[in-house]
Amino acid sequence: MIQSRQSAVIILHIAAILLLFVLQFVLPDYHQLAMTRVMVLAIFAMGYNMLFGYTGLLSLGHAMFFAAGLYGAGLTAYYFGWSVPVAFVAGIGSGFVLSLVIGLVSLRTSGVAFMIVTMMFAQVAYLTTTYFTDYTRGEEGLVLPQAARSFDLLGVHFDLTSAVLRYNLSLVLLAATVAITLLIVRGPLGRALVAIRENEPRTVMLGYDTFRLKLMAVTLSGTISAMAGATYALLFAYIGAGFATIQYSIEALLFTLLGGAGTVLGPLVGTAAMFYLIDIASSYTVAYMLAVGIALVLLVLFFPKGILGTIRERWLPWLP
Amino acid sequence: MTDKIIKPSSLISRRTTLKGVGAAAGAGLISATAPGFVRYAQAQTSAPIKLGLELHRTGIGASYGRWYERVANAAVKIINDEGGINGRPVQLIVEDDGTDPKRGAEVIEKFATQHKVDLVFGTLFSNVVVGAAPRAGELKMPYLVVSEGTHVSSGSLNRYCFQPGITDVRSQVTAMAPFMTKNLGKKVTMMFPDYAFGYDHRDNLPAAIKAQGGEVVEMIAVPPTETSFTRYLPRIPANTDVLYHVMVGPSVLTFVTELGEFYGSQHPAIFGFIDSIEAVDLKTPQLDFLEGSYFWEGNPRYAQKDQSQWDKLYRAAVGVDDTGASVHDPKDISTYAHMYGVWETLFVIKQAMQKAGYQGPQDKAKFIEALESFDKFEEGRDHPQGDKIFNGKNHQAYGHQNISKVESGRLNVVHRTAIEDGGPQTTADYTKMAL
């Protein structure tokens, strides 16, 4: 029984990635481009979900990790002329270091205080991007140079202006994130994180060093979010302070809540649903954010656990 | 409102998905190796020319967006009444970018691949322009902005980006500087938003003032989210001759009120960019303190004594009265100083398409080259703000600027600059980039 459920989990997630792969052959051009952005933002939401969905820590500052990746990759490509792969690693590295430091400080708090502290750190990060406008051009931002629009790796030339390449690069990174998330949440670390979410004092009593575990969760979550930021900068050639605003922290939370916190594919579903809610509603009314708000209220009322969370609760209890 | 929105025609539906799958099966595996194969041919020559208007309908730029849309509709009506462009009617397709750079880039993609427009125009806020421009370039989508930003002329964008309807801030402030130093004083303190368009002022005014023998003695950047300015005002040095401000949004009323409380009747000369009070009624009681102060205006909000016949015609066409308000609602103040840029851009588009013999997207390169071949635009119905010179290499237009004084609650033009006052043009050359 357990073996068959395990197989079902693996098959389901491979099928989801395969579906995304096949979609590029079916989708009209616009939706192909849109899904590329959705996949990158879904990686961000999956990073967020690692902390919020599985560890139970509500952060309102994840835009700073996304921005760390965005600026880490974008500024090194812009000013130092680093190649795309190196800049990408620099972006991830920035997110890793920042999330480790932020984790060490902010995990001294919990609950509402953790939420406020992360929000304040994120505000500091945002103001930092606007303070150093000589380098970042703040809100206006920077366009990445032509040299950062292509790269060579292992003898293969990659042209980032190609929509097909961007789609598939996003898909590869998304698949890697799904795999890493699955490995973690179904492994001992994931179970310990869920234990913290459900009852931290009891987890401590069982002998777990919860601070260390939570620090790992913050760092993992921040690094994955930074990877999304680095990907966004390099794929779409623009970096700007707008990505460090609280709006993006809230969006990661909404994507996760909408799709289902604590489910591996929930953030992907939530990101796609939110993107298309805005996209379609804005075609009909200027008050599209109101329409989105009403949709979210209805969701909370009738599907409080999000789309996949509700599916798991009612029909597929084995969904990770 | 006369919005002309084309509803998304290719949203994912069961039918379109099945159609795509069916087509894939029919086309076989060879075609299936090329993602996005459900592309279809562009409309034929009898079809309308589709112009995408990327608009700030929501967000911080919404008051501008509302008027940009009205101006665009008015200009398109005239173009269509006169037979369209190259015998084809013009159709406006509007998308809201929420004044957000991320959404701006998405909207460019939507215009290019879903609406399949011939070009995109009308974006104002420079952060949205900079965020969207890379996608426009990569999708080979002509992108004609009405932003004032120095981004286009600086050479930091790409060959598909133009600003043919309004002068950039760099030239605007350079043209303003001699008037300020000769008539108001040589020591200038700047207060500007720590936000996108504020940087162009921060980066260009000090050099322009210095070139006139003056000095910027203090630069005070104010976060756009600020609702009170009392903690910034004491930073204005006592020896300031001219306070130069470029604020934006509803907080400008608080700014002026607090400035009045801070100074009382003794204050330095005040010079502002009209951006501070675009779409704001000058007769608002909190703005009394501005009496006697000066403003830059691209196009004068109040009809002047020497109003040209072209301004009269343009004003009537876009539905604005002699005080700059909507003819339908005196409380609805236009963004008159800027919005002429949309009108002039549309007529530049028409002129370039005619010169290129534009028939469809296959002629985009010809259209770009036709635009780049222009060197001036004469004052007239199509250019009511005045004549302009156009630099086909840096893709930027340069025109006259107006300096107006607030007198009895209205803006009277006291000086109109020559085009050359804008200083030397940037040497950026987009024509070296491939099309």
- Structural domains in chain B plus CATH codes: 41-167+340-396 (3.40.50.2300), 169-297+400-422 (3.40.50.2300)
> Is the Cβ–Cβ distance between B273 and B246 less than 8 Å?
yes
Task: Give the CA distances from residue A92 to residues A66, A70, A173, A222, in Å, rounded to whole numbers and listed in that order.
Answer: 10, 9, 13, 9
Beta carbons of A140 and B196 less than 8 Å apart: yes
Nearest by CB to A25, which of B10, B24, B130?
Answer: B24
With CA atoms as reference, report the closest residue to B96 among A280, A141, A37: A280
Give contacts of A286 with chain B, Cβ < 8 Å: 57-58, 96
Q: B380 in helix, strand or coil? A: strand
pLDDT at B12: 43
pLDDT tens digits, chain B, 435 residues: what are they? Answer: 344 444 434 444 444 444 544 444 443 333 434 444 443 344 456 789 999 999 999 988 898 999 999 999 999 999 999 999 999 999 999 999 999 999 999 999 999 999 999 999 999 998 999 999 999 999 999 999 999 999 999 999 999 999 999 999 999 999 999 999 999 999 999 999 887 678 889 989 999 999 999 999 999 988 777 888 999 999 999 999 999 998 766 677 888 889 989 988 889 999 999 988 888 898 888 888 889 999 999 999 999 999 999 999 999 999 999 999 999 999 999 999 999 999 999 999 999 999 999 999 999 999 999 999 999 999 999 999 999 999 999 999 999 999 999 999 899 999 999 999 998 888 899 999 998
Q: Is the confidence at residue A130, as pLDDT, over 50?
A: yes
Nearest residue to A317 via CA among A278, A262, A272: A262
Phi and psi based region of residue B35 (left: phi greater than 0; alpha: psi -120 to 50; beta: remaining): beta
Residue A51 in any domain: the answer is: yes
Identity of the residue in B98, B131, B196 whose CB atom sits nearest the CB atom of A238: B131
Most confident of A161-170, A308-317, B218-227, B279-288: A161-170
Task: Give the 3-state secondary structure of residue B119.
Answer: strand
Q: How many residues does chain B have?
A: 435
Among residues B249, B129, B240, B246, the alpha carbon closest in space to that of B188 is found at: B240
- Measured between CA atoms, the residue of chain B closest to residue A164 is B35
Write out A77-141 in H/E/C secondary structure.
HHHCCCCHHHHHHHHHHHHHHHHHHHHHHHCCCCCHHHHHHHHHHHHHHHHHHHHCHHHHCCCCC
Report the Cα B140 to chain-centroid distance in Å: 21
Concatenating the DSSP letter of every residue in B287-304 gives GGGGTT-EEEESS-SSPP
Is residue A222 included in any domain, yes or no? Answer: yes
> Between vectors from CA A241 to CA A265 and to CA A166, what angle results, nearest 5°?
45
pLDDT higher than threshold 80 for residue A82: yes
The DSSP call for residue B250 is T
Amino acid identity for residue A100 in this structure: L
Whether the CB-CB separation of B239 and B187 falls below 8 Å is answered with yes
Contact between chains at A140 and B12 (C-beta distance less than 8 A): no
At A73, list the tokens: 């990759």
C-beta of residue A306 within 8 angstroms of C-beta of residue A266: yes
User: What CATH number does the domain containing A79 carry?
Assistant: 1.10.3470
**Closest Cβ–Cβ partner in B7, B98, B109 for A30:** B109
Give dist(CA A197, CA A213) in Å, integer: 11
Beta carbons of A140 and B130 less than 8 Å apart: yes
Say how far apart CA A10 and CA A4 lie, in whole Å: 10
Inter-chain CB proximity B101 and A286 less than 8 Å:
no
Across the interface, do B157 and A243 touch by the CB < 8 Å criterion? no
8 A C-beta contact, residue B425 and residue B299: no
Q: Which of A51-55, A195-199, A294-298 shows the lowest per-residue confidence on average (mean pLDDT)?
A: A294-298
CB B247 within 8 A of CB B255: yes
Residue A31 lies in a domain: yes
Of A69, A130, A135, whose CA–CA distance to A99 is shortest? A69
Give the pTM: 0.86
User: Which of A26, A133, A142 is facing B17, going by the closest CB pair?
Assistant: A26
What is the per-residue pLDDT for A2?
60
Q: How far apart are CA B211 and CA B208, in angstroms?
A: 5
Number of domains within chain A: 1
Tell me how crowded residue B389 is: count the other CB atoms within 10 A of its CB: 17
Assess contact for A276 and A288: CB atoms under 8 A: no
List Cβ neighbours of B130 (8 Å cut-off, separation of 6 or more).
A137, A140, A141, A142, A143, A238, A240, B101, B149, B151, B156, B157
Whether residue A124 lies inside any domain: the answer is yes
**E strands, B314-430, in order:** 376-377, 388-391, 396-399, 402-407, 410-416
Angle between the N-to-C axes of helices A63-79 and A112-131, in degrees from 0 to 180, rounded to the nearest 10: 20
User: What per-residue confidence (pLDDT) applies to B9?
Assistant: 41
Q: What is the rounded average pLDDT of the residues A223-247? A: 95
Sheet of strand B269-273: strand arrangement: B215-222, B187-193, B242-245, B269-273, B294-297, B402-407, B410-416
> Does the distance separating the beta carbons of B10 and A28 come in below 8 Å?
yes
Summarize the confidence of residues A294-307 as an average pLDDT: 87
Q: Which domain holds residue A275?
A: 2-314
**What pLDDT score was predicted for residue B41?**
41
Domain assignment present for A99? yes
Please name the helix (run of DSSP H) or strand (run of DSSP E) that holds residue B253, with its range, or none: helix B251-263
Confirm whether A211 is domain-assigned. Answer: yes
Q: What is the mean pLDDT of chain A?
A: 93
- Does the residue A319 lie in any domain? no
Does residue A66 belong to the interface with chain B, where contact is any CB pair within 8 Å? Answer: no
> What token pair was written down for B298?
């691209």
Strand segments (E) across B280-369? 294-297
Query: Is A17 inside any structural domain?
Result: yes
The C-alpha atoms of residue A303 and residue A262 are separated, in whole angstroms, by: 14
Distance between CA atoms of residues A27 and A21, nearest Å: 11
Q: What value of ipTM does the predicted structure carry?
A: 0.86
Q: Does A280 touch chain B (CB under 8 A)?
A: yes
Judged by a CB distance cut-off of 8 A, whether residue A161 touches chain B is yes
Q: Identify which of A246, A292, A252 has the alpha carbon closest to the alpha carbon of residue A270.
A: A252
Tokens of A49: 């979900």
- Enumerate residues 6+ apart whose C-beta is below 8 A from B426: B150, B153, B154, B155, B170, B394, B396
Judged by CB atoms closer than 8 Å, whether chains meet at A139 and B196 is answered as yes
Contact check, Cβ <8 Å, B199/A33: no
**pLDDT tens, position by position, A83-101:** 999 999 999 999 999 999 9
Instruction: Give the pLDDT confidence score for residue B249 in this predicted structure.
Output: 63
- Compare CB distances from B39 to A29, A283, A284 and report the shortest one's residue: A29
> Chains A, B: CB contacts under 8 A, how many?
132
Q: CB–CB of B131 and A141 under 8 A?
A: yes
- Closest Cα in chain B, distance from residue A144 (Å): 8
- Burial label, B265 (beta-carbon count in 10 A; 0-12, 13-18, 19+): exposed
* B300-338 residues labelled b (16+ CB within 10 A) or e (exposed): bbbbbeeeeebbeebbebbbbeebbbbeeeeebbbbbbb
